């Protein structure tokens, strides 16, 4: 058992069975990532501060490499579609698509979608359009990528009492939109962009999903939160340096610096 990762047997708050993490293996990647993602086959994707994107298998073999002409770190990296990878650059208000071989790239400015005075996050929707969270207007928007038309534009001040929202990450999953907020947790919206609920999650700057669980790190614990019942399971204690956590089958995958570690959950 690695000293850097103290594994505890914990009873979750919902009285579910105790769970323990058992270390399997680790490998190192070529840089400290600024963004990360996992696809449906369990391949890992990491983006560097200069925009390099690399794809790895579970054994640490680097499969494909992308080096952009314009150097910039992606704010969001999403590979959940499998056949293509989405990257969003908040500083430039641009996004791009790569195929599963990390080629065929082209950057698209948000201005080309008839969006003006926008500042915030963007992510891919399940129907191949674009979700936007506008920091200027505190609105959730959805834009048709084919014609640039705004499909939805919901101002949150009309439905949400929280005014000081600081979005850190957003992702569509199971026909719902999840927006991480530094102050309150993870805001949940339906497929029309209507605010539904907040999952209280302290410090959850990044999260991923597995089946009905949102996977994240909260106050030094790796937690799985049921997105419907809000029941929370704690599966291990996290080192403060851990930045990214994924779940694949019964495995927990953790990234810290250049190191990626795999653990198995024992029930």
122-165 pLDDT per residue, tens? 999 999 999 999 988 888 999 999 888 999 999 887 666 666 78
Q: Which of 264, 267, 262 is nearest to 38 (CA)?
A: 262
Give the Cα separation of 167 and 173 in Å (integer): 17
249-262 pLDDT per residue, tens? 889 999 999 999 99
Question: So what's the pLDDT on residue 162?
Answer: 60
Mean pLDDT of 172-199: 92
pTM summary value: 0.88
Question: So what's the pLDDT on residue 190?
Answer: 95
Give the Cα separation of 136 and 111 in Å (integer): 16
Of residues 152 and 115, more confidently modeled: 152
The CATH code that applies to domain 1-30+204-267 is 2.40.10
Could you tell me how many helices (H) and strands (E) the chain has, helices first?
A: 0, 24
Cα dihedral 249, 252, 258, 259 in deg (nearest 10)? -110
Give the Cα separation of 24 and 252 in Å (integer): 10
Give the Cα separation of 134 and 141 in Å (integer): 7
Look-up: residue for tokens 């999650």?
Answer: 201
Of residues 9 and 148, more confidently modeled: 148
Q: What are 32's two structure tokens?
A: 């400290």
Question: So what's the pLDDT on residue 10?
Answer: 29
Instruction: For the chain, give every domain's residue range.
Output: 1-30+204-267
């Amino acid at each position: 058992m690695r000293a850097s990762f103290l594994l505890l047997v914990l009873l979750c708050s919902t009285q579910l069975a105790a769970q323990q993490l058992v270390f399997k293996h680790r490998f190192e990647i070529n840089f400290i990532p600024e963004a990360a993602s996992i696809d449906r086959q369990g391949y890992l994707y990491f983006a560097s501060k200069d925009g390099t994107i690399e794809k790895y298998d579970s054994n640490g073999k680097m499969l494909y490499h992308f080096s952009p002409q314009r150097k910039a770190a992606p704010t969001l990296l999403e590979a959940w579609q499998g056949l293509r990878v989405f990257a969003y650059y908040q500083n430039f208000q641009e996004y791009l698509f790569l195929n599963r071989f990390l080629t065929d790239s082209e950057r698209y400015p948000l201005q080309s979608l008839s969006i003006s005075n926008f500042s915030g996050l963007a992510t891919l929707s399940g129907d191949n359009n674009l979700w936007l969270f506008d920091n200027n207007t505190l609105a959730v928007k959805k834009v048709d990528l084919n014609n640039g038309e705004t499909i939805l534009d919901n101002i949150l001040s009309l439905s949400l009492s929280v005014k000081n929202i600081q979005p850190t990450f957003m992702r569509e999953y199971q026909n719902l939109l999840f927006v991480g907020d530094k102050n309150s947790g993870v805001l949940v919206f339906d497929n029309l962009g209507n605010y539904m609920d907040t999952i209280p999650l302290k410090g959850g700057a990044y999260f991923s999903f597995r089946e009905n669980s949102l996977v994240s790190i909260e106050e030094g614990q790796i937690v799985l939160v049921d997105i419907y019942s809000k029941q929370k399971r704690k599966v291990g204690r996290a080192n403060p340096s851990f930045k990214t956590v994924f779940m694949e089958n019964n495995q927990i995958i953790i990234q810290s610096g250049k190191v990626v570690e795999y653990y198995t959950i024992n029930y």
